[in-house]
């Protein structure tokens, strides 16, 4: 296993600087943000991926010695108006990943908020069948993060239909893989370990994020959270500052044969607000996880 992080937490930094800092701190991999150029999470410019951009990214990883674990573009592939463009950008991410020898592209299933879940799953089958085949032909796997994305639904219901093991099993029938993140399971009342062990062979990437339960708040809001759709009774933290038992998680991954990248996804509000604070948060995550990992 290798330890890395998702670069989206440092949108103001150049990928060259991120890679140099990451290598100097002992990280071994980067999951690189690949949103369109109009978004500040665009450390790789997949929407203008020419020979110069290919050479720029390849040189950064060659010089730093880091592994490019995944190209990240987490958007709603079932959006009623924007879905087709999201699908097209996923294809651009796949093309860039194939050219760079990157094994995975990460995205969300998403949801049409005006349709029932079963109707959404039918639409998703039509959307992801061709995307998975497009990726397969280029030697790339599509990984889906099990994030709930409540903010995508007007009533705060799940906006990404990949949040539970029941839905993972549906995803696997399409050839999709899992970018497993235990923080979202804690927020749904699902035991991360129970939801991990049976599915390790379907996991192609791991995101490391923690969840802190705020005392007393769930008794006011319940698991669905406030009517505003916000979290309300929990918040995301860097690994080591929440409820996830990382010793058991890493041990189970190792025992189950997972030998890929564990990528810290930094969404910790305490360690945010400046590059220095984000880097401090990443350092906390590193110290929590590194000594647990073989190699």
**SS3 readout for 271-294:** CCCCHHHHHHHHHHHHHHHHHHCC
* Predicted local distance difference test score (pLDDT) of residue 30: 98
pTM of the full structure: 0.96
* Predicted local distance difference test score (pLDDT) of residue 241: 98
* Predicted local distance difference test score (pLDDT) of residue 286: 98
Q: Which residues of the chain have pLDDT under 70?
A: 229-230
* Predicted local distance difference test score (pLDDT) of residue 54: 98
* Predicted local distance difference test score (pLDDT) of residue 126: 97
Q: How would CATH label the architecture of 2-292?
A: Alpha-Beta Barrel (3.20)
Sign of CA dihedral 281, 284, 289, 291: positive
* Predicted local distance difference test score (pLDDT) of residue 253: 98
* Predicted local distance difference test score (pLDDT) of residue 51: 98
Paired tokens of 10: 């440092």
* Predicted local distance difference test score (pLDDT) of residue 229: 61
**pLDDT of 224-244, one tens digit each?**
777 776 678 899 999 999 999
Are 237 and 263 a contacting pair, CB within 8 Å? no
Helix residue spans in 65-209 (DSSP H): 83-100, 117-137, 165-173, 182-187, 192-196
């Amino acid at each position: 296993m290798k330890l890395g992080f998702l670069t989206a937490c440092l949108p103001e930094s150049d990928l060259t600087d991120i890679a140099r800092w990451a290598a100097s701190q002992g990280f071994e991999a980067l999951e690189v943000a690949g949103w369109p150029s109009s978004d500040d999470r665009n450390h790789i410019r997949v929407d203008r991926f020419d020979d110069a951009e290919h050479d720029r990214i390849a040189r950064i990883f060659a010089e730093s010695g880091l592994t490019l674990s995944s190209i990240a573009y987490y958007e709603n592939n079932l959006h009623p108006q924007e879905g087709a463009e999201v699908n097209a950008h996923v294809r651009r991410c796949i093309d860039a990943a194939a050219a760079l020898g990157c094994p995975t592209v990460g995205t969300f299933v998403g949801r049409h908020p005006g349709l029932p879940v079963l109707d959404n799953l039918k639409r998703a089958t039509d959307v992801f069948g061709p995307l998975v085949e497009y990726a397969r032909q280029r030697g790339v796997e599509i990984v889906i993060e099990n994030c709930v994305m409540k903010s995508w639904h007007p009533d705060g219901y799940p906006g990404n239909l990949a949040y539970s093991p029941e839905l993972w099993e549906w995803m696997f029938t399409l050839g999709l893989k899992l970018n497993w993140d235990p923080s979202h399971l804690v927020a749904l009342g699902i035991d991360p370990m129970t939801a991990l062990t049976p599915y390790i062979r379907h996991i192609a990437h791991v995101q490391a994020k923690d969840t802190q339960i705020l005392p007393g708040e769930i008794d006011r809001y319940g698991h669905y959270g406030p009517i505003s759709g916000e979290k309300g009774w929990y918040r995301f933290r860097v690994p080591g500052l929440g409820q996830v038992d990382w010793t058991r998680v890493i041990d189970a991954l190792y025992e189950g044969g997972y030998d890929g990248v564990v990528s810290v996804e930094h969404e910790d509000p305490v360690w945010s607000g400046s590059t220095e604070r984000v880097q401090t948060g990443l350092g906390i995550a590193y110290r929590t996880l590194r000594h647990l990992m073989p190699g």
